[in-house]
Amino acid sequence: MSKKADVWQGTLSLMVLKTLESMGSQHGYGIARRIEQTSGDRLAVNYGTLYPALLKLEQEGYITSEWGFSENNRKAKFYQLTRAGRKHVEREARQWSQTTAIMDRFLTEGGES
């Protein structure tokens, strides 16, 4: 059984935003579990990086938060995408698609596609 990889630097914010875009309002634990699940359990989300990333996204105006209760009736902070966050995730996703297409050209045999 292989060890889970850490989330790659620079990708966590986009993963969080895409998770909120597809799932709606989520608490931190739910976001982390969804990222791990979406990766096929190949990535491990470190809470020491998740919560600072959530705070940064909130300070940038891409998400908002409010306190509520989780499925097991525990107090939790729920995060939701803002309009600015929706626009940002579209730009970032487009940029990552371009970046991965460029990298694919380098990684394919002969460097041509």
Q: State pLDDT tens for residues 22-36.
A: 999 999 999 999 999
Q: 81-100: per-residue pLDDT in tens?
A: 999 999 999 999 999 999 99
More confident residue, 113 or 16: 16
68 phi and psi, to 5 degrees?
Answer: -155, -160
Give the 3-state secondary structure of residue 76.
Answer: strand
Residue 105 confidence class, pLDDT cut points 50, 70, 90: very high
Q: Where are the domains of the chain?
A: 5-111
pLDDT at 4: 75
Q: pTM value?
A: 0.84
**Region 5-111: CATH code:** 1.10.10.10
Residue that the structure tokens 């059984």 belong to: 1
Query: 55 near 64, Cβ under 8 Å?
Result: no
97 phi and psi, to 5 degrees?
Answer: -60, -40
Q: Estimate to the nearest angstrom the gap between the alpha carbon of 109 and the chain centroid.
A: 31
